[in-house]
Amino acid sequence: MSATIERTTPHLDEAARARLTALVAEVETDPGRISVLFPAVGRTVARGPSNPADPDGLRSPRLEDEARAALLVAAADGWSKEPGKLVEEIGQLYRFGDADEKRAVLRALPALDIADAGLPLVADALRTNDVRLVAAALGPYAARHLDAAAWRQGVLKCLFVGVPLDAVADLDARTDEELARMVADYGNERVAAGRSVPTDAWRILGRHPEAVAGRFPVPSQED
């Protein structure tokens, strides 16, 4: 298990990993224990940003996100013969979680072998206006599993609520002409209202000038 802890918790120091190791062993033996160990992780293992420039953990996981991911991987191991229980508990941890716990569940989804069973949680997070949840929802799990329409709406919401597009996994690979058109129309609405357009918008507009032409003034990439 120590290899898993090292993989899931690159920013934890040795003391925090030692505390986490005991909790991971507890969850491997009795996966149901995660229901009360997971919420307490900020007190029992570690708390704080892994990147001081990103205190809310929008672009990079916080320390407690990493520790909670390790507990979820341990629960997945413990329930390897009962994957339905894992999916149910992930849903319960998200339902009863505060925003920090919900963010940790979302961030851990790519490490759990649950196919698209986590999509309802991603959809819920994208319905909120909480930047922590919107950012975590658009990680690698959404890049792999979320359908194009919902993914585009999620990216547009990032521009709306102020989530940096660095938080969006596979942004360049999944950006398409339709998203560029949506962002161009969004830019027009902002300008019409006398408001500025987030600089991140150009990361999308610039990739598909043909979809934007005539809708929104974008400097050509040769400029």
Partner 1 sequence: MRIFDPHIHMTSRTTDDYQRMYAAGVRAITEPAFWLGQPRTNVGSFVDYFDGLLGWERFRAAQFGIRHHCTIALNPKEANDPRCHGVLEVLPRYLAKDGVVAVGEVGFDSMTDDEEKVFLRQLELAGEHDLPVLVHTPHRDKAAGTRRTLELVAASGLPPERVLVDHLNETTVGMVADSGCWMGFSIYPDTKMDEHRMVRILADRGLERMIVNSAADWGHSDPLKTVKTGRAMLAEGFSADDVDTVLWQNPVEFYGQSGRLLLDEVDLAGTGGRAATFEGNSILRGQRPDPAEA
With a CB cutoff of 8 Å and minimum separation 6, the contacts of 52 are none
Interface of this chain with partner 1, residues 92 to 111, rule: CB under 8 A? 92, 96, 98-99
| CB of 4 or CB of 92, closer to partner 1 | 92
Residue 153 and residue 137 in contact, taking contact as beta carbons nearer than 8 Å? no
Binding partner 1 by CB under 8 A: which of 37, 46, 136, 180? 37
User: Does 124 help bind partner 1 (rule: CB under 8 A)?
Assistant: no
Within 10 angstroms of residue 28's Cβ, the number of other Cβ atoms is 17
CB 66 within 8 A of CB 47: no
CB nearer to partner 1: pick between 125 and 145: 125
Least Cβ distance, residue 195 to partner 1 (angstroms):
6
Q: Is 189 exposed, middle or buried (0-12, 13-18, 19+ CB in 10 A)?
A: exposed
Contact window for partner 1 (CB under 8 A) among 2-10, 40-48, 72-80, 208-216 = 40-48
167 contacts partner 1 (rule: CB under 8 A): no
What are residue 49's phi and psi, to 5 degrees? -75, 145
Fill in the per-residue mask, 2 to 31: x = in contact with partner 1 (CB under 8 A), - = not in contact. Answer: ------------------------------
Residue 195 interacts with partner 1 (CB under 8 A)?
yes
What is the residue whose two structure tokens read 């899931």? 8
Residue 53 makes contact with partner 1 by CB under 8 A = no
Q: Residue 59, exposed/middle/buried by CB under 10 A (0-12, 13-18, 19+)?
A: middle
- By the 8 A CB rule, do 178 and 149 touch? no
Q: Among 25, 161, 191, 213, indicate the residue that binds partner 1 (CB under 8 A).
A: 161
Q: Is 129 in the site for partner 1 (CB under 8 A)?
A: yes
Closest C-alpha to 38, from 49, 28, 29, 27: 27
Q: Is 91 in the site for partner 1 (CB under 8 A)?
A: no
| Binding residues vs partner 1 (CB under 8 A) | 35-40, 42-43, 55-56, 92, 96, 98-99, 128-131, 133, 159-162, 190, 195-198
